[in-house]
Each structure stands twice: as structure tokens, then as C-alpha cells.
Structure 1
Amino acid sequence: MSEPDTKRPRSSADAPYELIYWPTLPGRGEFVRLLFEEAGVPYTDTAQELDPGAAASKVIDLVSPESGADIVGPSNPPVLAPPALRHGDLVISQTPNILLYLAPKLGLGPRLGDSDGDDNIAALHLNQIVLTLNDGLVAEMHDTHHPTAVSLTYEQQKPEAKKRTRHYLDERLPKFLGYAQRVINAKTSGEGPWLYGGSLTYADLFLFQCVDGCLFAFPKTMAKLRESGEYDAVFKLYDAVKERPNIKKYLASDRRQAYGQGIYRHYPELEEE
């Protein structure tokens, strides 16, 4: 494959991290924030640093065919949707992709390299876990309130949302929580409550945010699932992450935005039988 005409973007250990995301909702940006907060690494967040109007404009400019190129520069491909991370000249998007990049820099996962060594294999395994959780506990969760079209409001698709949610709560949510339980119970998880390798990684932070969002969106269902005892390891991990000093401090701060719109939404009627 031929090299592109432009120079490869460069990151630097001294370059600041900038998260570009919508204001006033945790959304997918929250998965990125949790890594910075756990690691205690400074970062700028457009949702916090700018007023809501300016933060929204930054996102719109980022994904616009007209102005997006000015933000990402000639060395990076266009961005379709936030979150996006800027680090030096590098601009990348897609949440799991951002996490894969940040994890080794923040001490929350191994580096994905060019060899078949243990670190490379572990990086692939962690990415596999996160991609699977993202499928069921983020993407499919979002579809419970927007099953027909993202461009329509929830109110315009309530009958379809009710039907989709019933299948999700009965079938898909238990399936993916069950997957997380199996991963924790597998030999590859090692000692302790963690998903992989016997120590906290970015995958654990990802699962924490998924469970936290589900608890907000579907509190009755999640209470039943917790009480069933079938997912004890998942909820043990959730509780362990919640009590980590930096995460606990972050959750109590005004940097932790309240749920409302975005992926995890609470519509009481969707839990009614």
C-alpha cells in the first residue's frame, strides 16, 4: 500500500490531551473521561471548557465536510461523529479506538504492537472485550429509545421503542451481562474482580460505565438482575471501580455530567410490562 502524500500525524508525551464531545450529556465521551480521571492525567474537555453553545459548535465544525478538515488537519482522515481525541497533531475518533490508543499511555492496558508477544495478545483480548460490550451495552442500549431512526425524536417512535425495549430487557441485556460474567470467571481474568490479567484495565472502566448507565436507564430491571445472583461478579466489579479513589472523587464532582439525553435515558414507561 502506498504512503499518503501528507505527513503522518505526530503525538507527543508533552502534548495536551483534548476531548471533543457534545456538552450537557455523558454519552460516549464518558468512556474516555474515565480513563483520564482514573489515571489522574490532565485533559481538556470541550464539554466542560466551553459554554454549551460553543462546545456544540466545536463538534459541528469537527464533523462538517466544510470545516472539519481545518480541525483534523491534512494528516488525519475526516471524522464522522464525536467523541474525538486530539493529541499533538493526531486526531482520532471512535470510542474503542480512542481507548485502545490511550490505555498504554495512561497505564491502563498494554500497547498494541507489531509482534506476537504477550502484550500484543493482551491488547487484542482487551479490545475484543470492549468491542463486545460496546455492541450490546452501548449500541443496542441506544436503540431501545431510538429503534427506527436517530433523526426522529423518542416521542415519534414510542410504540417501536416499547417493543424493542422489551426484547432488549428480556434477551439482550442478560446476554451481555452474562458475557461479562463469563469473562470475569475465565482463567484469563486472573485474581481479583477484574476482567483480564488480574489488574484494573480500561475494559473494567468501560464495563463500569455500561452498568452505571443501565442502572439509570432501567433501574427495575437491573435490580432484578442483581438480585438474581447470576451476575454477582459483574456487580462486584462495578462496586470496586466505584470505590477507587480517583473515580469516587470524579463521580462526586461537577465534572461528572448527569444522565438525561444521550445513550442512557430513563423512560419509566419502557420498563412497564
Structure 2
Amino acid sequence: MSSYTLLYWPGIPGRGEYVRLAFEYTNTKYKEINVPNAFSPHLSPKGPHFAVPILQIDNGWTLSQTAAILAYLAPKLKLAGANEHEQATINQLTLTALDLSTEAHDVHHPVANALYYEDQKDEALRAAEDFKSLRIPKYLTHFETVLKGNAENNVLVGSAISTADLTLFQVLEGLLFAFPRRMGTMKKSGQYDKTFALHETVKNLKNLQHYLKSDRRNEFSMGLFRHYPELDSE
């Protein structure tokens, strides 16, 4: 069995959390090295790598980009479905969930990543209105439709938990943190019952419960998902 080391920023769940959840759910042993800054030599151990997360495998090979790491790990950790068709669909839905994650980040940084939130607050307020009223409903409607098409299994694809389910769970966790009022309204609407039910299913998975309650699970703060009360509304 391969051994894995995850390189990521310290103190935030961020994009590294999507990889951690895959390891934690499958009880796969891994180490984590927290990279303190963008100029760390860890960023190019066998390079070139643009940014963390970076996955190191025991054969000396390294891989970056969250989606690429998840696509690589999914079949090895039995999170890729039962056949080639399911594997491709799981990858598709994982990428869609990661797109939603990126859009959530861009709400509080709509102009430039190098600027502070306060320097682009007016633009963020405009971006938040579009995100809350149009983008979140569009994504959640899509996932709701997918889940209704696989209603007998209560997962996105096939009959078992996959990287798509774990990734969507983490995105929903982030949205509930960043936009609690808006997400509360959407949950009460009843239009996304299967999507929120999947969130609860993953949250209560036996293999994840200990991790989710442990101090190894980083809390949301200043990463992808950030809570600014002025950006949230019902």
C-alpha cells in the first residue's frame, strides 16, 4: 500500500480538506506537512508545482491541483464507483462541486486575490447578491436533480460514497458557514431536501465522525469560505 504526504497551508481547511476527507473516510494513513508560505521549498519537491495542495507518494512522485489529486486517489481508495462510467461521472460532479467552491471564494475577492477584502468590499457586495440569488440555487438545483435520479441510493453516483459526495459535503459546510442566513432559507424551502440530506449522511458517516469532531479538523476562518455578515441575507 502506498504512503501519502499532504502539503498544505497551516490552520485552514481550504482545498486541502477535500483531500483529507478522502483519506479520513477510507481510514487511509497519511502525513501532513504545513507549508508556511508560498516560497517554501516544499512547493517544488519534484516540481514544478504551482501551489498547494501537493500530494507526495512514497515512490517519490508528486501531484498538485485538488481535482487531479482526487481523480488519482479515487480509484485507489475505492471512491470511484463500480465501473468506468461511474468513475467518469464522479469526476465530473467532483469538478462541478469544486467550481462552486471557487465561486464562493470569488465572492469575497471579486477583483483580485492580492487585495484585502476591505479594498474590494463594494464589488464583493454586488458579487454576493448574484451568488446568493442565482449561482447557489443553480448549483444546488443541479445536485438535487442528480440525487433524485439516484434516489434509491441517496448518493450522487452508484451505491457507495465517492469523492463527489465528500467534496459536495465540504462545499455545503463552507456555504453554511459563509452564508448561514441564505443557506437556512434554502434549506427551509424544501427544494433541496436530497442535497441537504446527503450533507447530513456524510456528516454522520461512522468513519468521519471522529475526525469531524477532532482538533485535526480545521475550522473555517480566512480561507476559501469566509463569513462577512454584510454579504449574507435570507
| TM bucket normalised to smaller | over 0.9
Query: Matched residues in 2 for 1:160 and 1:149: separation?
Result: 11
Pair 1:85-2:72 in alignment: no
Gaps of 5+ in 1: 1-12, 48-54, 111-117
Gaps of 5+ in 2: none
TM-score normalised according to structure 1 size: 0.82
8 Å CA contact 1:21, 1:59 repeated in 2: no
8 Å CA contact 1:23, 1:56 repeated in 2: yes
Match for 2:12 among 17, 22, 25? 25
Q: For the pair shown, which has the larger CA radius of gyration, 1 or 2?
A: 1
Match for 2:71 among 71, 79, 100? 100
RMSD: 1.6
| 1:26-41 equivalence runs, <5 A | 26-41=13-28
Aligned to 1:233: 194
1:57-94, Cα deviation, whole Å (9 max, x unpaired): 4873244xxxx2xx11xxxx511111110112211111
Query: Matched residues in 2 for 1:248 and 1:174: separation?
Result: 28
Q: Give the total of aligned pairs.
A: 233
Shift of 1:105: 1.3
Q: Which has the higher relative contact order, 1 or 2, with Cα contacts under 8 A spaced 6 or more apart?
A: 2
1:80-129, Cα deviation, whole Å (9 max, x unpaired): 1111101122111111110111111112114xxxxxxx722221111111
Query: Matched residues in 2 for 1:272 and 1:256: separation?
Result: 27
1:184-233, Cα deviation, whole Å (9 max, x unpaired): 112xx362210000211111001100100100000000000000000000
Shift of 1:244: 0.6
Query: Matched residues in 2 for 1:34 and 1:105: separation?
Result: 14
Query: Matched residues in 1 for 2:167 and 2:39: separation?
Result: 23
Query: Matched residues in 1 for 2:38 and 2:206: separation?
Result: 32
In structure 2, the residue corresponding to 1:109 is in which secondary structure?
Answer: coil
Match for 2:121 among 131, 139, 158? 158
